[in-house]
């Protein structure tokens, strides 16, 4: 069974590692933060959940496409990228609500569109283009290998 999921696992894990380049560092940093500063498990888990969710989206989509048997080139190439963008937007919304509800940010001090514009200006322009090209390249490689396996 694992051999049948070889293409989605290889290309999904490669895409995950290319998008989440600091994954090994974050593991060590979280462990050190917990033991040195006694940060709660909930805080570490919530931080990990927000960071790891968008890079896992292509892996999940590739696995679903393999299980369902989707062979359309446009769908296989564009869907992981579009779902990744949606996932990043959802994470931005969650971070906004956490910072407003838990943090000391006043809602009137910085409105939601201003936060989205700041996130877009600092990260989304160059980083998202790079990640988008990475996701599309991995999607194409997965589609090509999946097409060969299904033939």
The token duo for 29 is 């940093």
7 belongs to a structural domain: no
The answer to whether the predicted template modeling score (pTM) of the entire model surpasses 0.85 is no
pLDDT tens readout for residues 10-29 = 999 999 999 998 888 888 98
45 is a domain residue: no
Total domains, the chain = 1
Q: Is 18 part of a structural domain of the chain?
A: no
SS3 content of the chain, % helix, strand, coil (to 5): 80, 0, 20
d(CA 93, CA 112): 8
| Percent of the chain topping pLDDT 70 | 87
30 domain-assigned: no
Under 8 Å between Cβ of 84 and 57 = yes
Q: Does residue 49 lie within any of the structural domains?
A: no
Evaluate whether residue 61 is within a structural domain. yes
Answer whether residue 108 shows pLDDT above 70: no
Nearest alpha carbon to residue 86 among 135, 43, 17, 27? 135
Which residues constitute the domain of residue 103? Answer: 54-150
Would residue 10 count as lying in a domain? no
What length is written for the chain? Answer: 151
* DSSP conformation letters of 88-112: HHHHHHHHHHHHHHTSS--TTTS-H
> Does residue 42 lie within any of the structural domains?
no
For residues 9 and 133, what is the distance between their CA atoms, to the nearest angstrom? 19
């Amino acid at each position: 069974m694992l051999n049948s999921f070889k293409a989605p696992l290889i290309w999904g894990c490669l895409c995950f590692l290319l998008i989440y380049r600091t994954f090994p560092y974050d593991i060590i940093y979280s462990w050190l933060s917990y033991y040195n500063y006694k940060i709660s498990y909930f805080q570490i888990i919530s931080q990990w959940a927000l960071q790891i969710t968008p890079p896992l989206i292509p892996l999940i989509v590739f696995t679903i496409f393999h299980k369902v048997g989707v062979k359309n080139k446009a769908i296989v190439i564009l869907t992981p990228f579009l779902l990744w963008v949606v996932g990043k937007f959802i994470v931005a919304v969650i971070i906004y609500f956490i910072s407003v509800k838990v943090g000391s940010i006043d809602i009137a001090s910085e409105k939601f569109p201003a936060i989205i514009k700041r996130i877009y200006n600092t990260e989304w322009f160059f980083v998202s283009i790079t990640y988008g090209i990475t996701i599309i390249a991995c999607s194409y490689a997965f589609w090509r290998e999946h097409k060969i396996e299904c033939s």
